[in-house]
Structure 1
Amino acid sequence: MNAYGRIRVFRESNTFPRERRYTMRAIARIDQLRQRCDAAGWTPTELSRHMGMSQSAISRVLRGQAQPGEKFIAAALVTFGADFTDLFEIDPAEEVPA
């Protein structure tokens, strides 16, 4: 998987590898995000400042009303110094060819 949430699968052929891309949806582990905010003593407003995102975008993800996008995922991982699997998981039902 590369940094943009896509897995690259190569098939062997006589000429050159043919790339197939799969798009997967990341699901935020809201309990983990909230727990880390609480541990840092941050409100959603303070979290939005640390992540460089709007408060409404942060709130929608924390309330479960929106799925995290690439920017949210990258900002959360950098802000909390966490691994992807600490804060997010992949929805296997959403793996579809792009």
Structure 2
Amino acid sequence: MRLISAFVACTPLLTASAALADSRVFIIANQADGYGVDQCLARGDRCGAYAARAYCQSRDFAQATNYRRVDPDEITAAISGAAGDKCSGNGCGEYVAITCQR
């Protein structure tokens, strides 16, 4: 009987921790908009926290747990041309990874 009541008492804790573990990483284009938010996100500066949180909340997540610049080579499907070619110039995008958590 004690085992059953101990299990029932711990069930809400297990459910709560499972809900907190729900996170997702979004890869978005880092576009220079003239406001400096893009640089805040890309460098992981504190000023990017507001933009990252707003991005997560717009997708029904509670908070942003991390944000940083992503090298295009880190993105699995990113191909810049022939093998070994590197993208350079204004046509090449920079990306930001924002980790959102429920």
Greater strand fraction, Structure 1 or Structure 2: 1
Fold match (TM-score > 0.5): no
**What TM-score does the superposition give when structure 1 sets the normalisation length?**
0.27
**What TM-score does the superposition give when structure 2 sets the normalisation length?**
0.26
